[in-house]
Amino acid sequence: MLALDVTDPASVLAARDEALATGPVDAVVNNAGYGLDGVFEAMTDDDIRGVFETNVFGLMRVTRAFIPHFRDRGTGTFVQVASMGGRLTFPLYSVYHATKWAVEGFSESLQYELEQFGIRVRIVEPGVIRTDFYGRNRATAGAEAPSAYDAFAANVARVSMEAGAKGESADVVAAAIVRAAEGPGRMRIPVGKPAPALLRARKLLPEGLFLRQVKRLYR
Which residues are tagged catalytic?
A: 96
Q: Are 135 and 41 in contact (CB under 8 A)?
A: no
DSSP-derived letter for residue 168 is B
Residue among 113, 114, 110, 93 at smallest CA distance from 164: 93
CA dist 146 and 131 (Å) reads 30
The per-residue DSSP string of 69-136 comes to HHHHHT-EEEEEE--GGGTS--TT-HHHHHHHHHHHHHHHHHHHHHGGGTEEEEEEEE-SBSSGGGTT
